[in-house]
C-alpha cells in the first residue's frame, strides 16, 4: 500500500506538469482555450500519456506510455513474450544469461527478463531511449535483479563500432513486434544476422498482419534453424526461436 502511494505521487508530478501546461494557457481571449493550449504545448519524446500496470514473475510493473512514437506503447508481441518467458522458464532459462533486446520500446520485456535473472541490454532509436530508461529504472531500481543497460542501436548503423562481435557475444537476442509496416526490414535482418553469433538464440515474437511479415519469416528461416515455440490466437502473435545455421547445413 505504502509502495503504491509513493508510486502514485511520482507519476502525479508528471501529471501536474501536464496540468500546468493546460491551465497556464489563457482562459479568455479570441480562440477556444484548447487551441491556446495546443499552441503552447510542445511534444517531447517521452511526454507522459498513460500508464499501464502488468504483473509478471510475481512483480507489479508500471509502464509509462506516450503517443509520440511506435516505441512508446506496449505491442502485442511484448505481452505474448512476457507471458511465455514467465510460464516457460525451462524452455527459455534466462538466469545469468546475456540478453540483447532490439527495438525494446517501453522496456516491458527487458524488465521481465531482468526479473527472471538476465543481464539485459535494451536498445532502440535515440528518441525512444528517455522513456525506455525511465520505465526500466523505475521498475528495477528497488528490487534485487541485474539492472538492465539502455543503449542506442539503430538497425544497420555503427554496429561494428558500438557492438563489436569480438567483445559483444549474447546468449539471447530478443525482438518483439519489430516487423511491421516500415522500410527498414532489410537493415533489421542484417542487424539480427550481425548480432547473432554461433551459440546465440534469437527469440522473436511478432503479430502477423501482412504478407511481408511472412516474407520476413522466410528470410529468417533461411538464416536460422527456426522453431515455432507458440501461437497466441487472440492477438495473432507467433513466437519463434532460432539458432544460426552452420555453413553447409540444410
Ligand atoms: C512496433 S514497436 C515494438 C516495441 C516493443 N518491442 C514492443 O513489442 O512493445 C517497434 C520498435 O522498433 C523500434 N525501431 C523501429 N525502427 C528502428 C530502427 N531503424 N532502428 C532501431 N529501432 C527501430 C521502434 O522505435 C520501436 O521501439
pLDDT tens digit string along 182-232? 899 999 999 999 999 999 999 999 999 999 999 999 999 999 999 999 999
Nine-digit cell string for 171: 546468449
SS3 77: helix
Whether the pLDDT of residue 3 is over 70: the answer is no
Q: Is the beta carbon of 103 within 6 A of some atom in ligand 1? A: yes
Interior/surface letters 14-52, b for 16+ CB within 10 angstroms, e for the rest:
beeeeeeeeeebeeeeeeeeeebeeeeeeeebbbbeeee
Q: For residue range 98-152, what is the model confidence (pLDDT) as tens digits?
A: 999 999 999 999 999 999 999 999 999 999 999 999 999 999 999 999 999 999 9
Q: If we measure between CA atoms, which residue out of 198, 221, 209, 191 comes closest to residue 125?
A: 191
Give the Å distance between the CA of 75 and the centre of ligand 1: 10
What is this structure's pTM?
A: 0.82
Q: What are phi and psi of 171, to 5 degrees?
A: -70, -35
Specify the pLDDT at position 71.
81
Mutate to test the pocket of ligand 1, among 105, 157, 185, 204 (most ligand atoms within 8 A of CB): 105
The pLDDT value given to residue 30: 33
Looking at residue 68, its pLDDT comes to 77
Burial (CB count <10 Å: 0-12, 13-18, 19+), residue 219: middle
Q: Quick check: CB of 105 below 6 Å from ligand 1?
A: yes
Which sign, positive or negative, has the C-alpha torsion 116, 59, 175, 92?
Answer: positive
Percentage of the chain lying above the pLDDT 90 cut: 72
Q: How many CB atoms are closer than 10 A to CB 91?
A: 12
pLDDT recorded at residue 236:
96
Residue 12 CA to residue 186 CA, distance in Å, equals 42
| Angle subtended at Cα 7 by Cα 6 and Cα 13, rounded to the nearest 5 degrees | 95
Neighbouring CB atoms inside 10 A of 190's CB total 14
Residue 22 clears pLDDT 80, i.e. is over it: no
- Ligand 1 close to Cβ of residue 154 (< 6 A): yes
Q: Is the pLDDT of residue 52 over 80?
A: yes
pLDDT level of residue 248 (50, 70, 90 thresholds):
low
What number does the ligand 1 atom closest to the CA of 75 have? 9
Q: Has residue 20 got a pLDDT over 80?
A: no
For ligand 1, whether the C-beta of 79 sits within 6 Å is: no
pLDDT tens string 152-191: 999 999 999 999 999 999 999 999 999 998 899 999 999 9
19 pLDDT exceeds 70? no
Amino acid at each position: 500500500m505504502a509502495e503504491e502511494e509513493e508510486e502514485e505521487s511520482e507519476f502525479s508530478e508528471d501529471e501536474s506538469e501536464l496540468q500546468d501546461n493546460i491551465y497556464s494557457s489563457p482562459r479568455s481571449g479570441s480562440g477556444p482555450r484548447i487551441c491556446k493550449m495546443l499552441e503552447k504545448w510542445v511534444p517531447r519524446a517521452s511526454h507522459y500519456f498513460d500508464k499501464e500496470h502488468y504483473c509478471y514473475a510475481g512483480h507489479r510493473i508500471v509502464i509509462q506510455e506516450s503517443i509520440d512514437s511506435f516505441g512508446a506503447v506496449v505491442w502485442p508481441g511484448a505481452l505474448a513474450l512476457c507471458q511465455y518467458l514467465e510460464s516457460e522458464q525451462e524452455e527459455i532459462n534466462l538466469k545469468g544469461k546475456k540478453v540483447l533486446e532490439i527495438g525494446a520500446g517501453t522496456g516491458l520485456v527487458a524488465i521481465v527478463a531482468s526479473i527472471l535473472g538476465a543481464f539485459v541490454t535494451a536498445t532502440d532509436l535515440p528518441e525512444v531511449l528517455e522513456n525506455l530508461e525511465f520505465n526500466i529504472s523505475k521498475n528495477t531500481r528497488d528490487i534485487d535483479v541485474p539492472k538492465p543497460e539502455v543503449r542506442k542501436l539503430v538497425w544497420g548503423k555503427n554496429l561494428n563500432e558500438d557492438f563489436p562481435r569480438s567483445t559483444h557475444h549474447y546468449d539471447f537476442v530478443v525482438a518483439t513486434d519489430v516487423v511491421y509496416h516500415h522500410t527498414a526490414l532489410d537493415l533489421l535482418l542484417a542487424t539480427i544476422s550481425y548480432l547473432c553469433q554461433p551459440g546465440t538464440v534469437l527469440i522473436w515474437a511478432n503479430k502477423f498482419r501482412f504478407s511481408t511479415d511472412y516474407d520476413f519469416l522466410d528470410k529468417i528461416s533461411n538464416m536460422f534453424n527456426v522453431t515455432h515455440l507458440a501461437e497466441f490466437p487472440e492477438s495473432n502473435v507467433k513466437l519463434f526461436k532460432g539458432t544460426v545455421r552452420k555453413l553447409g547445413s540444410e
